[in-house]
Structure 1
């Protein structure tokens, strides 16, 4: 989260506010559709209470900076991705405790809303704010290191989760059989939902030039912003507030999400205008003519 804050500027906020329809769509997908999808998948898979809590927690968590890197690899709209990630991160301190109390209290026997809100604020808002202040105070220095920050965020996520789960590999290993499918379905469902919403917005003219970006780039961006979740944040919250078993879905997520997102990003980049994530627009037509 600190690495994400170091990338933020007032220009990022202005870009986000200039595309309100896309920003709202991203937030509704993150904190509306994805939690509901997680509940549906957990019910369909008949997960245990602990596994269900972990999957639902993963579904209602905000995204991470790694989505910005994947959007860049896929040839999406990186500025829009940063704005969407910023919005979901800032909203996390309110949305996550509220959704957890609503969706998880029955599974874990009550959720401490105040404690969860405090933990979320400490893990999300504090480092993001610190990074943003540092970026504003030393913009030249931050510009020099900014290209490295997404990779730093990814490495930090891997270290946080794999470092912790390495000590409990005997528990995480057996959980793979029960959770790999549901976790993959959650992320893949988010990718598809983001693409579908972007395509629908493109059909009504909300994604074209007037909407601040190409339909192709926006579709790829919204797909990743929807399907990406922060397994590190979900893991820490699970351990602190939901019990040991709830941490397993976020731990499995880091193993599933990384290759899934990498393949999706590479395919979008490789096939360019012909990817199914690319609603046609004038820019795409020009590329095809070349």
Structure 2
């Protein structure tokens, strides 16, 4: 299964299905929870964080743009890349001003002009497949981002292996949920960035993701009858199992959720 097929296997289940249990922004990635935040509040905080970290003032790129939450809030002309036809159609139908969405792999992207901010949330996990030279793949991505940037930063959010060997990963998750995807480790991320992009901020939000997945599972369970009508009971059962296992993995520390800000060496930041 190619990366395009793998993405569509998961994300093209149907927009109406995801709308049942995600927040109104359709953010399908870890929220950033403070105190007694609702899912909606925590997802808005996550989106604001990445936009602020990228710092785009004239032009933004969103690699793995999902259903367009970042693009809608960019405040500047923005380009979104996705491999999901369903997501691209949803964003295009919204008619967001100064927003262009492309069904395009980052490896094939040629900017019409430089960007001064790049965001990538929840896509990095899909860049490498089992057996790939992961550091080489990530280094290629970081090098392209460096070359595309004229000011600003790359704000990256990704799941990663933590206190778990990749060989211990669930076959259910690898075969039925995210086929042919391979998570990074923190060591691989930093090794790939070395000499290309400078890490200027790093945090681990694994407990935020444990909570986010548990909240998604609760919402999906509450909408189970309608979800079954849309996609069938087998798909619903698979997603409920996947969300429950994911929440447990983050809570146990087997998985991490890294939020990383990276900038080209020599750029001015924090001044």
TM (norm. structure 2) is 0.29
Larger radius of gyration: 1
Larger relative CO (CA 8 A, sep 6+): 1 or 2? Answer: 1
Larger helix share, 1 or 2: 1
Larger strand share, 1 or 2: 2
